[in-house]
Amino acid sequence: MANKILVLGEIKDGELRNVSFEAIAAGRRIADGGEVVGLLFGENLQGHAEELIKYGADRVLTSENSDLVQYTTDAYKQALLQVFEQESPDGIILGHTSSGKDLAPRIAAKIGAGLVSDAVDVESSGGSTVFTRPIYSGKAFEKLSISDGPTLATIRPNNIAPETKDEGKSGDISSISLEVKDLRTIVKEVVKKTSGGVDLAEAKIIVAGGRGVKSAEGFKPLQELADVLGAAVGASRGACDAEYCDYSLQIGQTGKVVTPDLYIAAGLSGAIQHLAGMSNSKVIVAINKDPEAPIFEVADYGIVGDLFEVVPKLTEEFKKAVSN
C-alpha cells in the first residue's frame, strides 16, 4: 500500500547531516511506491531542499524561521505538529540523533502514533513495514511493525544507505509558514566543547582511546591518525573519567552509540559497557598491549603492542597510502 512519508532533515552548523539522506532512503522504503516529503526548519534552506530531492525526496517543505535554527523541544514540537496536521502523512522519519530522540516520543504521544526508536533497517512489502532495532546493548535484534495509525521512527545514523544521488532530479520546494509561540527555551549561544572535526555519531572511521593513552597528551597520536584517515576521535569512559578528554567523546552504554565502517580501539580494554556502543561497527581493529584484553574478542584485526609505537607507525603507513 502506497504511503505518504514525512522526513525531517537535520541541519548542523549550516550543513545537512548525512542521516537526513539515510532517513529519506528509509522513507522511500516505507512509502512503498508512495510519496516521500522532506521537511526542513531553519534558515537558508533552498540548497538543502534541493539536496534532499537529489537524494530521493519527491518534494520538500521548508519553513524559514529564526526560532527553528537551533533545535529546541518547544519550537520543533509545535512546528512538526502543525506540518502533521497540514499533510496528514502515514509516517514520520527522523534521525536517531539527540534532537530526534527528544522529539519523536513527544510527537508520537501527541498524535497517538506507534514509535520505533533506533531502527537500523526497514523493509516494506505487501502493505506491511518491518523495522529492525538492536536490543540488549546490541547483543540481539528485534523486528517490529506498527499495526495501526501513523508510523513514527528514528533511524540510527550510518546503517541505512542513502539512495544514489541523482544530480538531475528536481521536485517541488514549497515554503510554509509555521507559528511557534510561547517558547520556554531560547538558545542564545552555542559554546562548543570540542573543536570542529568529524561528527562522532556519523563518522565512517573512528579512532578511540582508553585509559591506556595515560594522559590528555596521549590522545595526540590518535588525533594524528584520525586526521590522516578523515576520522573522528572517540574515547572510553575510563579515559573520560581520568580527564584525558571530554565526555562528549565517550562511546558506550552511557555515551554515544556508533556504527562506523572502521573502529580503531587503542588502549581500551573492551568492557561490556564500551562494547554496547561500538560492537556493531563493520570492522574493528584493536591495539592493546595485553593479549587477554576482551576487546580482542570482538576485533576483526588485533595488534598486541604498545599504542605509542603502533599508532604512529599506522599513521605513517596510512599517510603513504593516502598520498599514492
* Residues engaged in binding ligand FAD (CB under 6 A): 210-212, 236-239, 250, 252-255, 267-269, 271, 273-274, 277, 287-290, 293, 306-308
Q: Which is nearer to ligand FAD, 150 or 218 (CB)?
A: 218
Residue type, 95: G
Nearer to ligand FAD, 103 or 239 (CB): 239
The whole-angstrom separation of Cα 129 and Cα 151 is 9
What is the spatial distance between Cα 164 and Cα 146, in angstroms, rounded to a whole number? 28
Closer CB to ligand FAD, 151 or 315, in the complex? 315
Beta bridge partners of residue 59, listed in sequence order: 37, 172
Q: Quote the crossing angle between the two packed helices 220-229 and 307-323, to the nearest 10°.
A: 20
DSSP, res 216: S
Name which of 15 and 290 has its Cβ closer to ligand FAD. 290
Report whether 239 contacts 211 (CB < 8 A): yes
Least distance in Å: CB of 239 to ligand FAD? 5
Beta carbon of residue 292, minimum distance to ligand FAD (angstroms, whole number): 9
CA neighbor of 6 nearest in space, from 27, 29, 30, 32: 27
Distance separating alpha carbons of residues 246 and 238, to the nearest angstrom = 11
Nearer to ligand FAD, 78 or 280 (CB): 280
User: Would you state the cell numbers that stand for residue 253, as one nine-digit string?
Assistant: 552504554
Pair 318, 229: CB distance under 8 Å: yes
**CB contact at 8 A, 286 and 311:** no
Which among 135, 74, 87, 99 is positioned nearest to 23, based on CA atoms?
99
| Minimum CB distance to ligand FAD, residue 293 (Å) | 4
Least distance from ligand FAD to the Cβ atom of residue 273, Å? 3
And the C-alpha cell for 207? 579512532
Minimum gap (Å) between residue 211 Cβ and ligand FAD:
4
Are 279 and 285 in contact by the 8 Å Cβ rule? The answer is no
Q: How far is it, in rounded angstroms, from Cα 8 to Cα 60?
A: 10
Least distance CB 52 / ligand FAD (angstroms): 33
Is residue 183 a contact partner of residue 209, using CB atoms and an 8 Å limit?
no
The minimum distance between CB 210 and ligand FAD, in angstroms, equals: 2
Contact 171, 24 (CB under 8 A): no
d(CA 104, CA 152): 7
C-beta closer to ligand FAD: residue 100 or 234? 234
Considering the complex, what minimum distance in angstroms separates the CB of residue 191 from ligand FAD? 24
Quote the least distance from Cβ 320 to ligand FAD, whole Å. Answer: 23
Q: Compare residues 146 and 293 and give the one whose CB is closer to ligand FAD.
A: 293
